[in-house]
Structure 1
Amino acid sequence: MTTLSLVHAVRPPEAGANVDGVKPPLLILMHGVGSNEHAMAQLAPAFDPRFVVVSVRSPLTLGLNAFGWFHVSFTAAGPVIVAEEAEAGWTLLAQFIDEAVSAYDVDPTRVFLAGFSQGGIMALATLLTAPEKVAGAVMMSGRLLPEVLPHTAAGDALRDKPALIVHGTGDEKLDIHLARWAREQLAQFPLALTYRELPMAHAITEDSLAVATTWLASSLDAAHSTAHSRTQP
Structure 2
Amino acid sequence: MTDIPLEHVHVAPEDGSDGEPAPAVFVLHGRGADEEDLLPVAAELPDDRHVVSLRAPDPLQGGYTWYELDLSAGGLESSQPDAADFRRSLDLIVESVEAAVDAYELDADRIGLLGFSQGAITSLSLLLEDPDRYAWVVALHGYLPESHADLDPDGIEGKPVFVGAGAGDRVIPDSRTSAAVERLEAVEAAVTHGSFPGGHGIGPQELEAVVEFVESQAR
Check whether TM > 0.5. Answer: yes
Tell me which residue corresponds to 2:68.
Answer: 71
Shift of 1:21: 4.4
Please say which of residues 177-186 and 39-48 is displaced more in the overlay.
39-48
Amino acid at match of 1:118: Q
Shift of 1:184: 1.5
Structure 1 residue matching 2:51: 3-state secondary structure = strand
Higher helix share: 1
Tell me which residue corresponds to 1:207.
Answer: 205
| Deviation digits for residues 124-156 of structure 1 (CA, Å, limit 9, x no counterpart) | 111110222111111011111111135x362x3
CA contact under 8 A between 2:113 and 2:134: conserved in structure 1?
yes
Distance 1:144 1:9 in 2: 27
Shift of 1:37: 0.6
Tell me which residue corresponds to 2:114.
Answer: 114
2:125 corresponds to 1:125: yes
Tell me which residue corresponds to 2:26.
Answer: 28
Gaps of 5+ in 1: 225-233
Amino acid at match of 1:70: Y
Tell me which residue corresponds to 1:61.
Answer: 59
Structure 1 residue matching 2:109: 3-state secondary structure = coil
| Deviation digits for residues 153-190 of structure 1 (CA, Å, limit 9, x no counterpart) | 62x32121111101011101111110111112222212
TM-score norm. by structure 1 comes to 0.86
Tell me which residue corresponds to 1:230.
Answer: none
Shift of 1:43: 3.0
CA contact under 8 A between 1:2 and 1:103: conserved in structure 2?
no
Shift of 1:24: 0.6
Distance 1:164 1:15 in 2: 25
Structure 1 residue matching 2:22: 3-state secondary structure = coil
| Deviation digits for residues 49-80 of structure 1 (CA, Å, limit 9, x no counterpart) | 0110011101122243x111111256436214
Tell me which residue corresponds to 1:10.
Answer: 10
Percent identity at matched positions? Answer: 28
Amino acid at match of 1:67: Y
Distance 2:137 2:33 in 1: 20
Structure 2 residue matching 1:214: 3-state secondary structure = helix
Structure 1 residue matching 2:194: 3-state secondary structure = strand
Gaps of 5+ in 2: none
Tell me which residue corresponds to 1:228.
Answer: none
- Count of residues in correspondence between the two structures: 216
TM-score norm. by structure 2 comes to 0.91
